[in-house]
Structure 1
Amino acid sequence: MRNVLQRMRCVMDKDIGIDLGTKNISVYVKGRGLVFHEPTVVAIKRGNGKVLALGGAAKRMLGRSSRDVQVVNPMREGVIADLSATEAIFRHMFEQVLGYGSYRRSKVMICAPIGSTHLERRALRNAVQSVGARSMDMLDEPMAAALGAKLPVAEPVASMIVDIGGGITEAAIISLGGIVNHTSMRCGGEKMDEAIQSHVRRRHNMLISRGEAEEAKIHAGKAHPDLEDMVVTVRGRNLATGLPDAVKVTSAEIHEAIREQVSAIERIAHEALERCPAELAGDLMTSGINLTGGGSLLRGMDDYLREKLGIPVRVMDDPLRSIVRGLGYVLESPREA
């Protein structure tokens, strides 16, 4: 295990670990632990670019701010879509957790989707370097998640991760400290939220926010059609009257709306299993699939995949923080001479 960690860490310790997700950003500081876990949203004053709010405070301003305030999530489908807003998040966040200017002496390890392109990784590197960090290294998200779950990644056995994020879903099979094969697709929690918005507009003639759709998914959504039906009230604007309105939406409706995205997640896992070497396939019959990311919390996701794929499936403990826990594990592990 130490040899695996040594290869990941290159030749120097890292002070800060960052999991920059589509939905949330988490920061781990060596010796201090998890110091920041907030939505990836920033509120910026138009004109001077001053950061007014970050994280949950900024998310609560979505759709409610005045014209001179821009509230933005700079991530789309797991990668940076707005570089300047990402740089603003990093600068403001580092000043909050490390103190003004101290982050310029820091070394950073940041996670990236294994399916991201060279240009997308360069944008991530540019965002970190723009705030003056001393150095930066990258770790693939599935490997970080596996380390966070304390899977035997250094052993000659197969461990499989399916990371269902806000903008991207990735499946990876790991053995002997490396990723044997992987698949990824730009689908996840955000596509589900958009599908719920479209369903409510089509079925109930009502416009709801993405945040309202997300809340409906969290409280009443289900991946498996046979699970108990629930009812949730969503609020928005009636398109016929133009007035505020509310309607009740069932779990069955939400399942129908997000069925395509749930099926896509199953196909991603299926493809990774299809390409798994025969020597490792037998291991997965016992060790199964480990789910991480916010999408793994969708009710019945583990049951659905278990039924479709025919192998054990389990949701990791605290799947929203599994990647940053893996980063912390790397940062805190002593480096061999």
Structure 2
Amino acid sequence: MFSKDVGIDLGTANVLIYLKGKGVILNEPSVVAIDRNTKKVLAVGEEARQMIGRTPENIVAIRPLKDGVIHDFDITEAMLKYFIQKLKLRGFMSKPRVLVCCPSNITPVEQKAIRDAVVRAGGGEVYLEEEPKVAAIGAGMDIFQPSGNMVIDIGGGTTDVAVLSMGEVVTAQSLRVAGDQFDQDIAAYIKKKYKLLVGERTAESLKMSIGSMILADKNDTMDIRGRDMVTGLPKVISFTSEELLEAISDSIEMIIKAAKNVLEKTPPELSADIIDRGIMLTGGGALISGLDRRLTEELLVPVYVAENPMDCVVLGTGMILDNLNNISKK
């Protein structure tokens, strides 16, 4: 049986897998539930995510990736092995060639950890590509011409900002401030202001439901349940879009600052191209209402949200897989 070519967006929040000829065949949360006592894997993906914050003491739901890199090697390997077996990606006599995306500033040690985890989970040859480059390709940008393209990819663990030309990254910055940080900001804000403890899933649903950068467009209220820190009892409060904006404003400012830094380091000819073409916003963070307009105001360059921001990276892996024979293994 011929080996299969597989693209993996190994994200902090989600794992997406692209199979050449089939398209995106998996999109599951990067979560593994294990039994503390036996170290046995009990559930992976969505089934494990449902267990976060809701399990007895002997069961723990772990997110093995942190800030876009492997935080727990063994659990990452177990998760990848589960997905590769579930999708029957290994042939009888062959292993799939695998293209994995990683943040633009990860160390050689972190790169080796990703490569080793994929090989031990059942992959064959492993290729690594920088996430902003792959996101730009997946968003439909033609980065192989001698002209400037800029992308801001806000994922779960990292935000990658990059200017690309001739198929390569010209200047880039990666920061460990993204969707997960927004969730932590929201939970911390609620804890400080209301003395209420809420879980990360509650914080995430607030962000996705009522998050907005332009309050004139969307100023909603949502009821949330948590545990009162004073009485220890369950309590319900109403939370507004305005409060949410206040909670994540520092993190948004850090992303804006990173984008400005990248623009300042960009050669003038490429800057002119970016002003003409605008900046592409990809990743789950692109779904926050009004973020494109907030960035446009701050950067003085038009910012556009990609058509399928969540899938840009994995779709980009698919396009690169088509030319895999021309890519030297990094």
TM-score by length of 2: 0.94
1:308 paired to 2:298: yes
1:275 match: 265
**Selected match of 1:218 from 198, 201, 208:** 208
2:199 match: 209
Q: CA contact under 8 A between 2:4 and 2:90: conserved in structure 1?
A: no
Instruction: Write the deviation string for residues 134-193 of structure 1: whole angstroms up to 9, x where unpaired.
Output: 211101111111111121111111111101111111111111111111111110111111
Name stretches of at least 5 consecutive residues in structure 1 with no aligned partner: 1-12
2:232 match: 242
Secondary structure of the residue that 2:87 maps to in structure 1? helix
2:276 match: 286
Q: CA contact under 8 A between 2:90 and 2:122: conserved in structure 1?
A: no
Q: CA contact under 8 A between 2:156 and 2:180: conserved in structure 1?
A: yes
Instruction: Write the deviation string for residues 79-109 of structure 1: whole angstroms up to 9, x where unpaired.
Output: 1111111011001111111167759611111
Q: CA contact under 8 A between 2:197 and 2:226: conserved in structure 1?
A: yes
Relative to 1, partners in 2 of residues 1:251 and 1:63: Cα closer, same or farther, differing over 3 Å? Answer: same
Secondary structure of the residue that 2:101 maps to in structure 1? strand
Secondary structure of the residue that 1:222 maps to in structure 2? coil
1:297 match: 287
Q: Match for 2:256: what amino acid?
A: E
Name stretches of at least 5 consecutive residues in structure 2 with no aligned partner: none
Q: CA contact under 8 A between 1:173 and 1:276: conserved in structure 2?
A: yes
Secondary structure of the residue that 1:31 maps to in structure 2? coil
TM superposition shift of 1:316: 0.4
**Selected match of 1:60 from 37, 50, 56:** 50
| Matches for 1:48-87 after TM superposition, within 5 Å | 48-87=38-77
Instruction: Write the deviation string for residues 103-129 of structure 1: whole angstroms up to 9, x where unpaired.
Output: 961111101101111221121112112
2:307 match: 317
Q: CA contact under 8 A between 2:104 and 2:130: conserved in structure 1?
A: yes
TM-score by length of 1: 0.92
CA RMSD of aligned residues (A): 1.9
Q: What is the aligned length?
A: 325
Relative to 1, partners in 2 of residues 1:106 and 1:304: Cα closer, same or farther, differing over 3 Å? Answer: same
1:92 paired to 2:65: no
- Give the Cα separation in 2 of the matches to 1:292 and 1:126: 28
1:46 match: 36
TM superposition shift of 1:226: 4.6
- Give the Cα separation in 2 of the matches to 1:120 and 1:193: 25
Which aligned runs of 4 or more in structure 1 are off by greater than 4 angstroms?
99-104, 333-337
Instruction: Write the deviation string for residues 308-334 of structure 1: whole angstroms up to 9, x where unpaired.
Output: 111110010111110000001111348
Secondary structure of the residue that 1:63 maps to in structure 2? coil
